């Protein structure tokens, strides 16, 4: 993966071209994204799970620490 700092060194015209190409590639792959209704149902399922057992939640600080340690 190319570092953001390297991309920022490119001339603005090239960066704009990259943005356009990325946007187009996302539009082409849009079918791979979950259906919005499926996403809503999943969020509702997770909310109901949390409401039925709030102790099952992981505090944000713990999640951040797990993410940071997994990158090391």
What is the tens place of the pLDDT at every residue in 8-49? 999 999 999 999 999 999 888 887 777 889 889 999 999 999
- Among candidates 46, 66, 67, which has minimal Cα distance to 56? 46
Same domain, 29 and 41: no
* Residue 55 per-residue DSSP state: G
* Residue 72 per-residue DSSP state: -
Give the structural domain span for 17: 1-33
CB 56 within 8 Å of CB 49 = yes
For position 55, what pLDDT does the model report? 92
Q: What is the CA radius of gyration of the chain?
A: 19
Same domain, 40 and 72: yes
Same domain, 42 and 12: no
In the chain, how many domains are there? Answer: 2
For position 64, what pLDDT does the model report? 94
Is residue 57 pLDDT above 80, yes or no?
yes
For position 35, what pLDDT does the model report? 80
Instruction: Give the E-state strand segments of 3-60 in sequence order.
Output: none
């Amino acid at each position: 993966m190319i570092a953001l700092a390297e991309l920022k060194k490119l001339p603005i015209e090239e960066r704009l071209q990259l943005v356009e190409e990325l946007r187009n590639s996302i539009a082409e792959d849009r079918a791979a994204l979950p259906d919005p209704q499926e996403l809503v149902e999943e969020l509702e399922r997770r909310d109901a799970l949390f409401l039925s057992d709030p102790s099952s939640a992981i505090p944000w600080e713990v999640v951040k620490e797990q993410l940071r340690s997994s990158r090391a």
